[in-house]
Structure 1
Amino acid sequence: MGKEILFGTFPVLIVFLVFIGVNVAPFIIAALVLSLLMFVIMRQGGMSVTQKKTSVDTPKTQIKFNDIGGQERAKKELREALDFLIHKDTLKKYGIRPLKGILLTGPPGTGKTLMAKAAANYTNSAFIAASGSQFVEMYVGVGAQRIRDLFKEAKQKAEKNNQDSAIIFIDEIDVLGGKREGSQHREYDQTLNQLLTEMDGITTSENPRILIVAATNRADMLDDALIRPGRFDRQIVVDLPDKKARKQILEIHVKNKPLADDVDIDAIARDTFNFSGAQLESVTNEAAIYAFRENSTEITQRHFSHAIDKVMMGEQTDRESTAEERERVANHELGHAIVSEVVRPLSVSQVSLRPRGQALGYVRQSPQQDRYLYTVENLEQQIMIALGGAVAEEIIYGGRSTGSRNDFEQALHLVNTMIDTGLSRLGIVKVDMVSREALHEERQRILNELLEETRAVLRSFFPVFKHALDHLLREEVLNGDEFRAMIANAKNMVKKDNLEKIDTQLLNA
């Protein structure tokens, strides 16, 4: 009613002022500016904080813990925490305090959000979801009010459905739960303070009980007060899957796909080392897309091989290189492959001359087993593999090219890892307390020694370059089995040459 009176009175007032000869232009401009300002504030939510919905009303999902491949330990811990909501009477007998918060941490794409959805289906609790960015506003007090509304909404939903517990899932909690910076008074701090208060239970009742499940990729960025016991009681690491878990994830995602008889899930799991669950799902989807493009009735192992390359390196590009560049790139990649196969047998899965992403060629390695601890020998082998491309160019062309830049960065990173972990001749040291000259000399010593070893390996297997190069330039792809056959032939040739030299020496004697 007030708006109608205002809009009706203003034109009459303007007409009256014009009638008595008053300049009305300043009044009209002021009214327009005020209206625009009020419109912007209304859009930002500054005048209607409580009316803005902060959560997503998530219905019961069909996802269950059995639908999530791998992560057995993480699923077990999460199920146990959810069981505390279900079996409250048993908890009282043991004097167990119910958990207030569970923090899911780990790299992107490992299934943290998926596990939260499975939690909603596992327990008979009200479930609402929100994202950390929904609580960040430029206006003071808005985020804190939304935190209060979120807990209030969870409680009301549980009471409405006659449920005695509720689960609030906050994704990307590091956006609002980051470390507080000294005495600075920020809107983020007020929002975090309100979340800490709500999790302490000062303003909430015991029934319905609220469990907070949050996910983040950056647990190290969270405020210490947020991750202490009594708030987030458990931190569950949802890490990258190992080979067994990768196989389980792949089997889940290929259930609805027509697979050819030659598809080997074990080989795919082996070739996708360090892939996350999201990347594995993308591999199965891209393989199906490749089959669809070819109008194939089944998805073959070749389609999966292309899909792994695409997810790992990016889509194949249309770069047209000169014949000289293609030959140099082929020899460069063969240098990597030869060293890799010599120092780590059965490690080469494929050598490709097809440009993908920023790479003009690449070697896809397939470790026989997942490795999480590295010895000096392991690191030196990896450095030799990284240097193999540049050394191959040196031997064949007498010099290197700019294509070795990333290889050198990788090699230097591995050298620094050796020094930092006490695996170099410097022993156990703190890098900040060692002079730059000493560090430089140790890096150069390691690299020079491994360069000589790499040269010796490539010279011993130099005949492989001729046979593999012709095949690679013609077909653009050389699979691991074919490459290993060439390596075996080269070894036989080396043995034969050595025997002939020995026979010649005996005859001369």
Structure 2
Amino acid sequence: MRNWRTYGKEIAIGFVFVLLLFLIYIGVPAMPIVTFAMVAAALFFLTKARGGMAVGSVGRKGPAKAPQFLSFEDIGGQEQAKKELVEALEFMVKREEIRKLGIRPLKGILLTGPPGTGKTLLAKAAAHYTQSAFVAASGSEFVEMYVGVGASRIRDLFKEARSQAAKLKRHSAVVFIDEIDGIGGKRDGGGQHREYDQTLNQLLTEMDGIQGDESIRILLIAATNRKELLDPALLRPGRFDRHIQVDLPDKKGREHILRLHARNKPLEEDVSLVRVAEETFGFSGAQLESVMNEAAIYALREDRDRLSQSDLTQAVDKVMMGERTDRETTREERERVAMHELGHAIMAETLRPGSVAQVSLTPRGQALGYVRHHPRADSYLYTKQTLEDQIMIALGGAAAEELIYGGRSTGSRGDFEQATDIVRTLIESGMSELGIIHPQALTKEEWARENASILDGLMERTREYLSASRDKFDQLLSILVQEETLSGDRLRECLGKTSPDSAAS
């Protein structure tokens, strides 16, 4: 038998239709009424659809639980972050022990760090480690122009987490919000009631409502690249109790990540992932995954069934600088690019003997040529001399153009940006003539004056170094233009120098 709700809809539609005919019959204008009814119906269904998206986007359509195969052992390069996270998760696993000691369960864990370092993977592994249900969303999903929609979605998110835990017969659930700065940014304090303020308030309320004696315990894990932008009310203890830094991996971590992504890829016997790890200083986990994937693509292009060391080297270049392009240049431009890159290479060999691996005229991305350096040891502290050497190597291209052609080109723009960034580091670290000073205490004019002073002095020294090797440029130019690449060993041979490795042998 049909229920009353079905009959109710039909009766309502019939009533509206009869009412409309009656109004027309008594002479009331029908068009304004019809127009108003259509607008009201459109707004009703639009609002209902907007509000109803919350459960779908973070619930039924989103992942209900963490993949069972993903564990902390499947995540490389984040040993310290994993250790801190596991310690925090023990509060969820050892419920009886923490109850005896009167420990308050953690309510939230904030993962901070550069993009691509594995924050989302850590959240999924946390759900697997604690045998919890897993529900994920992005901060951008909660911000809408319609008032109250974001707050409603927050409520639906936590409700969905409890529902999934109950279905899976779990005692806990992990709610993961990526890019939480989309809803958790600092409030301006101006008293203006904005939609994302209401959304943030609802999130704070949900976190405060997580009680330790609930049958289903919910842990909120959030990720952000910009912790400094988050509202203090969100960062305080009792909300996000643990702040875990997820940094770029070191050499050992990069090797671990490469091996994880090489498990399903056949490699030649002479492939050295240790060498690739050395060449990828500063790469994130996502970039390392891309290196292995691009290397496999290079092998596929050449119809080979195994990845070679050359494939990995080309993949590193592509991830670092972009895809190889077919950009055609005139001979004059080609020679100028060659002189520019030789300026970088000669300065690098002068200041750091044995550091150049290859000079290339192969266009990649926006670069018409590049210098590949031998891998450096992972460093986190730099002296004034080291930073000045980096600036002089960056200025070597422009100095070479001035020496050979009497002027610079637009190809030095990126080099100058790099040099200026290093100068800022020098000043902020108290290594300039200004001494120890807070950066905000300097006016724009003082910044510009000190920046120009440092760069002018180092540019003059760069010109002096390159002038001493002026006779080598023509010989190296002929080789580079003809062969497109110049190995570091051949460069040192032409310069009359030997690398530290060859000298030691």
Query: Could you state the TM-score of these two structures normalised by the residue count of structure 1?
Result: 0.89
Structure 1 residues 59, 441: closer, same or farther in 2, change over 3 A?
Answer: closer
- Counterpart CA distance in 2 for 1:51 and 1:368 is 49
Quick check: 1:54 aligned with 2:58? yes
Instruction: State the partner residue of 2:170.
Output: 163
CA distance in 2, matches of 1:160, 1:125: 11
Bigger CA drift: 470-479 or 299-308? 470-479
Aligned residue in 2 for 1:407: 415
Deviation at 1:337, TM superposition (A): 1.1
User: In 1, distance between residues paired with 2:455 and 2:53?
Assistant: 61
- Taking the aligned partners of 1:432 and 1:15, their CA distance within structure 2 comes to 73
Q: In the alignment, is the contact (CA less than 8 A) between 1:143 and 1:187 conserved in 2?
A: yes
Percent of counterpart pairs with the same letter?
59
Q: Aligned in 2, Cα 1:383/1:17: closer, same or farther, shift over 3 Å?
A: same
Comparing 183-192 with 380-389, greater Cα deviation is found at 183-192
Question: Once structures 1 and 2 are overlaid, which stretch shifts more, 381-390 or 214-223?
Answer: 214-223
Separation of aligned partners in 1, 2:57 and 2:454 = 59
- Tell me which residue corresponds to 1:178: 185
Alignment CA distance shift 1:193-1:443 (3 Å): closer
Aligned partner of 1:188 in structure 2 is: 196
Paired residues for 1:376-455 under 5 Å: 376-434=384-442, 439-455=447-463
Structure 1 segment 37-52 matched on structure 2, within 5 A:
37-45=43-51, 48=52
Task: Give yes or no for contact 1:197–1:203 (8 Å, CA) kept in 2.
Answer: no
| Shift in alpha-carbon separation, 1:41–1:99, aligned structure 2, 3 A | closer
Distance 1:448 1:15, change over 3 A: closer
Gaps of 5+ in 1: 492-509
Determine the structure 1 residue equivalent to 2:4.
none
Map residues 331-350 of structure 1 onto 2, 5 A cutoff: 331-350=339-358
Give matches, 1:75-474, under 5 Å: 75-182=82-189, 183-201=191-209, 205-434=213-442, 439-474=447-482
Q: Distance in 2 between matches of 1:124 and 1:337?
A: 54
Do 1:271 and 1:349's aligned partners in 2 also have CA atoms closer than 8 Å? no
Shift of 1:239: 0.6
* 1:297 Cα deviation after fit: 2.5
How far residue 20 of structure 1 moved from its aligned partner, in angstroms, is 6.5
For residues 465 and 400 of structure 2, the distance between their equivalents in structure 1, rounded to whole angstroms, comes to 10
| SS in structure 2 of the partner of residue 28 of structure 1 | helix
Contact 1:61 1:121 in 2 (8 A): yes
Matched residue SS, 2:184: coil
Q: Kindly tell me: are residues 123 and 19 of structure 1, through their superposed partners in 2, closer, same or farther at Cα, counting changes over 3 Å?
A: closer
Q: 1:438 to 1:119 in 2, by over 3 A?
A: closer
Contact 2:66 2:125 in 1 (8 A): no
What CA deviation, in whole Å up to 9, does each residue of 1:381-440 have, x standing for no partner? 011001100111111112211211221222222223222221112212234545666554
Deviation at 1:339, TM superposition (A): 0.7
**1:203 CA displacement:** 6.9
Q: Give runs of aligned pairs for residues 58-73 of structure 1, distance below 5 A.
A: 58-73=65-80
Alpha-carbon distance in structure 2 between the residues aligned to 1:324 and 1:395: 16
Contact 2:281 2:376 in 1 (8 A): no
C-alpha distance in 2 between matches for 1:43 and 1:88: 40
The one-letter amino acid of 2:95's match is K
Q: Classify 1:163/1:426 alpha carbon distance in 2 versus 1 (closer, same or farther; 3 Å).
A: same
- Give the paired residue count: 489
The answer on 1:36 being equivalent to 2:42 is yes
Task: Give 1:149's aligned amino acid.
Answer: D
Partner letter of residue 328 of structure 1? R
Q: Quick check: 1:104–1:112 contact (8 Å CA) kept in 2?
A: yes
CA shift, 1:121, in A, is: 1.7
Amino acid at match of 1:223: D
TM-fit CA distance, 1:204 = 7.7
Q: Is the 8 A contact 1:49 1:145 kept in 2?
A: no
SS in 2 for 1:54: helix
Structure 1 residue 7 and structure 2 residue 9: aligned? no
8 Å Cα contact 2:114/2:246 also seen in 1: yes
> Does the 8 Å CA contact 2:388/2:458 hold for their aligned counterparts?
yes
Letter paired with 1:71: Q
Partners of 1:91 and 1:388 lie apart in 2 by 61
Counterpart amino acid of residue 122 in structure 1:
Y
Distance of 2:47 and 2:263 partners within structure 1? 51
Superposed CA deviations along residues 158-182 of structure 1, whole A, max 9, x for unmatched, are: 3444332222112111111111120
Native 8 Å contact 1:415 1:446 kept in 2: yes
Contact 1:339/1:458 (<8 A) preserved: yes
Quote how far apart the aligned CAs of 1:93 are: 4.2
> How far does residue 50 in structure 1 lie from its aligned partner after superposition?
7.6
**Structure 2 counterpart of 1:502:** none
1:143 offset after TM fit, Å?
A: 2.4
Q: What displacement does 1:448 show? A: 2.8
**Contact map agreement 2:55 2:153 (CA 8 A) in 1:** no
Alignment correspondent of 1:496: none
Aligned letter for 1:411? A
Deviation at 1:276, TM superposition (A): 0.5
- Paired with 1:130 and 1:20, the residues of 2 have a C-alpha distance of 55
C-alpha distance in 1 between matches for 2:18 and 2:450: 87
**Deviation at 1:81?**
1.5
Change (3 A) 1:468 1:305: farther
State the distance in 2 between where 1:31 and 1:59 align: 46
Q: Secondary structure at the match of 1:138?
A: coil
| Greater Cα offset, 356-365 or 475-484 | 475-484
TM (normalized to structure 2)?
0.89
Contact preservation (8 Å) 2:354, 2:498: no
* SS of the residue 2:151 aligns to: helix
Q: Distance in 1 between matches of 2:409 and 2:87?
A: 56
